[in-house]
Each structure stands twice: as C-alpha cells, then as structure tokens.
Chains A and B, each alone.
Chain A
Amino acid sequence: MSSALLAVGDPLFAEGVDLTVVLIVILKTLVTFAVLMVAVLFMVWYERKLVSDMQNRIGPNRAGPFGILQSLADGIKLFFKEDLLPERADKRVFRLAPYLSAVPAFLSFAIVPIGGTVTIAGHETNLQLADPPVGILFLLAMSGIAVYGVMLAGWSSGSKYPLLGSVRASAQMVSYEAALGLSIATVVLIAGSLSTQAIVADQAGAGPFGVLPAWNILRLGVVPFVIFVIAATAELNRPPFDLVEAEQELVGGFHTEYSSIRFALFFLAEFMNTVTMSAVIVTLFLGGPSGPDFGVLPSWLWPILWFTAKVLLFLSMYVWFRATLPRLRYDQLMDLGWKLLIPLALFWLLVIAAVRLDSGYALLAIPAGGLIWLLLSRSMAVSRARTTEKVH
C-alpha cells in the first residue's frame, strides 16, 4: 500500500521497492545534499561578489581564482573556532536550536524538482529527492519549524539582544507565512494539486496568446508572484526585512551568542533557505525546469540548465534587494504584511477562484471582494488617523 502511495509521485517506485531502488534513493539524497551545499558555498561567494560590485568594491579575491574558495575557507575556519556556551544559556535548547534551523532548510529543498526524469540502472526516476502528495504544504511545515530554530536560539541564549531578535523573527515569520500561504493557494487552485511535480507539469505547454509559456507568473496575473517574492524575502529574514539580525541595533540578532560550527549552521540554514526559496519560486511560478531544448547537449541536461539559470536569476534578485533597499522599520513591516499583502492575497485568491468557476455569479465576487477590501483599508486608515490624533 505504501509503495502504491509512493508511486503517485515518482515512477521509481512503480514496480515496488527493492534494494536497487533503496540505493537509488540514498544516492539521490547524497547528490541533493551535495548540490545544496555547493549551491550554498556558491551563493555566499556570489552574494559577496555581486554586492561588492554594486558598492564599487572588489569583494573576496584571495582564496582561489576570483576568490571562489572564500566561503570554503570561511567554513573551515569556523570549524576550528572555539565553541562557546554562554553561562546563562539553557544548554540543551541552545545546542538543539541550530539543527532546528538547518535541518528544515535542507528538507524543504527535497520537494523541488530540479530536472526532468533520468534512468539509473534500469529504473526511471524524477530528478527530485521526494515528491510527497502533500507537496508544497511540506514547505510551509518546514518553514514553520524553522521559526522554532530562530525563536529557541534567541530565547535559550540567556541574553537580551538575541531575545529581542528572536521575538522580532518569530512575529515576522508567522505574519508573512499567511501571505506566503495565500499566494501558494492561488497556484494550488489553478494546478489542482499540491504535488510540486504536478504543479510543474501543469505549467507545461503554451500559455496566454499561444506564444508565452504557461507559467503561473503569467496565468495568475503577476500579483501572487510579487506577493510571494515579498513574503518569501521576509520569511528568509533577508534585507530589506532583516530586522531580525539588524546589526546596528541588535548586534547579530538571535545568533549573537553563537560561535564556531553552531553559528555556521545558522549561516548555512540562512543561505540554504535563500537557495530553496528561489527554487520554490521557480517551481511555483516559472515552470520549474521547463524551457526549450536546443539539442547539442543531452536532453536530460537542458531542464537542469534552465532550472539553474532561473534560480540564479532569483539569487541575484535577492542580492540586488540587499544592495538597494534600506531596512524597514518594525511597524512598517507589520503594516505591509497584515494590511497590504494578506488582504491583497485574499482578494486575488477570490479573483482566481471566480475566474476558474467561470459563471456570472462567481464573477460578481470580484467587485464584491474589491469593495470589501476598499472598506477594510478605509477603516484601517480612519482608525489609524484617530489613534494618532489621540497621541498628539
């Protein structure tokens, strides 16, 4: 029964599970882990290089050609640093927290399809570690657990700045998860499945006007994509939403008291999440590994190349955000999340649902939803004006 359930996603399990299949799964796990680690090492280097380009600097250029080995050198250095444990820390939780951060970061990459299918030892398999039927919900679950990593790290440090940082982090991540989830809901609505493989398959073929690809970014109108990108940036605690670790105010935020390899784990998790989120954006909105096959190279390689190129685009976007935008204030962050993104995501979900139903009554829901949204934002503005009047 379990193999039947597994076979829903991956053709690997179609003929039952034997030793070869188990070995292939182990191989895929190792390869995924290696790919993610290399991606993280690359991303650390790439971010430092690109942001220094944008700041008229050179960036790391000592270790290896173009400084490409810099992140490896940093990692090795962190391994040999003294591992400090604050006296007032809750020792067990303090030790546990980095893993609560790093493990979900790795696990959520497992559901991302990074290519088409390949045949290993006579078994056909997806280039994807796992395709559980819960699919994209798994991502939300993992990012939910990652909040615990951040929160417990700050709380167990027994120090004020980490605590402040982690309080900010938990509030921020919980708030933006709502907008994130609602924009994912639009994708799920149109794909009719939670499985990432099905979401990618749904985006195949020709889309609007027959020439454009059927990617969700176009089919859903750009709004859910923009909401997802903003919410994902906040979820990642990356600039301009990095007030969790606001160096100028909070030293380092929740990881202030961490050193050595435990600190490296947080760092690793942060960059893993960045890579994963970029990959998820590509999967949900840009058709995942889909793209034209120009021949020359073997046909299984093209989807991987397309996927890599798209992910790289979003990694660059995150760096660009960091180089450009100043950090938001805490109340601005909360306003943006609760008063703009969540209502907008809800409204757009309504629009998509109405369009899909394609009946006159359902379409009426669009102006009705718009009206409710207008009233809501008006009442917020009025109540805000009243509170500020009282203050003055």
Chain B
Amino acid sequence: MGLLDGFAVTLRQIGKVVTTQYPEHKRPKPERFHGRHVLNRYEDGMEKCIGCELCAGVCPAQCIHVRGADNPPDAPVSPGERYGFVYEINYLRCIHCDLCVEACPTEAITESKLFEFSFTNRNDAIYTRDELLVADDGKPQQLPWEHWAEGDDKNTSGWMRATSPAGDPQYQDRPLWSGELGYGVRVAERGQAADTPAAPAAGDAPPSGDAH
C-alpha cells in the first residue's frame, strides 16, 4: 500500500515536537559552536594577530579586511615583527565557516558562541579590531546590541583544543598552543584517538606487510 503508507507516517508524527520555544527556551550550544569572532591576546596582554592576512585570504565570503603594519619599536602591539593594524569583519557577509580560525598561524582569531546580535545600521555590522579584541580579563567585549547568554564566552578556543595542531595524532590531548589572556594555557579536550585503534608509537618503522 505504497501510497497510503505516507498517511500513516504523517499521522504518527502528531505529538512529537522537535522544535523549541526559542526566546524562552534555548538549546545548549555545542562545544565548538561557530559564533561571533574574538581576537585573542597573549597572557602578557600582547595581541596575537601578526597581520598576515591569511584569514582574509581564506575567507570564502570575503568579509575580513586586514592590513598589517610594522610594530612601533618603542611600544610593540604584538610579539612579532608586524601586527594587525586594521582588522575588520563584516557580519552581514560572514557565514561562520571557521576557515579563518583554521588558517590563523598564531591562534589569534577564534569564535565565541554568540549568535544573537543584530544591528540597526550597516556600520554596526562591521566589527573593528577594537570591538573584536578580548578585554583585559581575557573575555570578549559585550557590545550593546549583542545578547550574551551564560557560557557564550567560554571556550572560545574550542576548535584549537580539539585537534592536534601538530597534525600528528600522537600529540592529541597535549596542549601545543600558547597561553591566553585570563586563562593561561587551556587544557586539551578529551582525545579522539582513544576511540580509534592504537596509532603506531612515534619513531616506529612504517607499517610493513602490504607496503611492498
């Protein structure tokens, strides 16, 4: 009864509700939720951004605008040679794909869990460096048109801590990243390698057998 089966399917759905009453009831957000970006700083307060423009280059929506400049010798902004002089993200374009976070060589840009922000004009949609930088306590700044919920500013380095930055599964669960302002060196997430068969120990010969 192919045609009539569908009627039973739709009838069975009555009573099951998967949506939630949004503004009153909010679902818990995943650990690595992609929200509004933050620009991180080192524990000593220096900015992590070195103005390399890799994030702008990788951005598929072309919403990031970065211009680097040489650090002033007497008052350096970042530990390296250059720093992000202009850093702007246009949130009318951003698709929150997180590619900028993956591209960043210094873990300068990460994403918070904030998605409830709205603007009344286009200028507010373009976040500048001053707005994106974390405050002196290491937490993202909370702007007037943003609605921060409990826990939105936690674990902004979620993506970083979940993978092995060295690209080697042996280094998973080991922090290979720099400390963050207000947090120090964040601990790693539980390793994903635990669920997979044991990887060969570092220094072992490549698996032999079907290789030749």
- Residues of chain A having any CB pair with chain B under 8 Å: 53-58, 61, 320, 323-325
9 closest A-B pairs by beta carbon, nearest first, are: A54-B10, A323-B10, A56-B18, A324-B10, A324-B6, A53-B14, A54-B13, A324-B7, A57-B19
- Determine which of B10, B15, B17, B19 lies in contact with A320 in the assembled complex, contact meaning CB atoms within 8 Å: B10
B120 on the A face (CB < 8 A): no
Chain B residues near A53 (CB, 8 Å)? 13-15
Chain A residues near B11 (CB, 8 Å)? 54, 320
Cα distance, A55 to B11, chains bound together (Å): 10
- Determine which of A56, A323, A324 lies in contact with B17 in the assembled complex, contact meaning CB atoms within 8 Å: A56
Within 8 A of A (CB), among B1-49: 6-7, 9-11, 13-19, 21
Task: Name the residue of chain B whose CB is nearest to the CB of A62.
Answer: B21
Shortest B26–chain A CB gap in Å is 15
Given contacts A56-B17, A57-B17, A324-B9, 8 further A-B contacts (CB under 8 A): A53-B15, A56-B13, A56-B16, A58-B17, A61-B21, A320-B10, A320-B11, A324-B6
Chain B residues near A58 (CB, 8 Å)? 17, 19, 21
Cα distance, A84 to B6, chains bound together (Å): 41
Cα distance, A325 to B9, chains bound together (Å): 11
Cα distance, A324 to B10, chains bound together (Å): 6
**Known: A54-B11, A320-B11. Contact between A325 and B6, CB under 8 A?**
yes
Shortest B10–chain A CB gap in Å is 4
Cα distance, A325 to B17, chains bound together (Å): 21
Chain B residues near A320 (CB, 8 Å)? 7, 10-11
Task: Name the residue of chain A whose CB is nearest to the CB of B16.
Answer: A56
Can you give 29 A-B contacts (C-beta < 8 A)?
A53-B13, A53-B14, A53-B15, A54-B10, A54-B11, A54-B13, A54-B14, A55-B13, A56-B13, A56-B16, A56-B17, A56-B18, A56-B19, A57-B17, A57-B18, A57-B19, A58-B17, A58-B19, A58-B21, A61-B21, A320-B7, A320-B10, A320-B11, A323-B10, A324-B6, A324-B7, A324-B9, A324-B10, A325-B6
Cα distance, A58 to B18, chains bound together (Å): 9
Interface residues of B, count at CB 8 A: 13
Chain A residues near B15 (CB, 8 Å)? 53
Shortest A215–chain B CB gap in Å is 23
Cα distance, A325 to B7, chains bound together (Å): 8
Cα distance, A58 to B17, chains bound together (Å): 7
Cα distance, A56 to B9, chains bound together (Å): 12
Chain A residues near B7 (CB, 8 Å)? 320, 324
Cα distance, A323 to B6, chains bound together (Å): 9
Shortest B33–chain A CB gap in Å is 23
Chain B residues near A54 (CB, 8 Å)? 10-11, 13-14
Task: Name the residue of chain A whose CB is nearest to the CB of B15.
Answer: A53
Chain A residues near B10 (CB, 8 Å)? 54, 320, 323-324
Shortest B147–chain A CB gap in Å is 20
Task: Name the residue of chain A whose CB is nearest to the CB of B6.
Answer: A324
Cα distance, A56 to B21, chains bound together (Å): 13
Chain A residues near B17 (CB, 8 Å)? 56-58
Cα distance, A324 to B18, chains bound together (Å): 19
Chain B residues near A57 (CB, 8 Å)? 17-19
Cα distance, A256 to B6, chains bound together (Å): 31
Cα distance, A53 to B12, chains bound together (Å): 10
Chain A residues near B9 (CB, 8 Å)? 324
Cα distance, A57 to B21, chains bound together (Å): 10
Task: Name the residue of chain B whose CB is nearest to the CB of A321.
Answer: B7
Cα distance, A87 to B21, chains bound together (Å): 43
Cα distance, A54 to B11, chains bound together (Å): 6
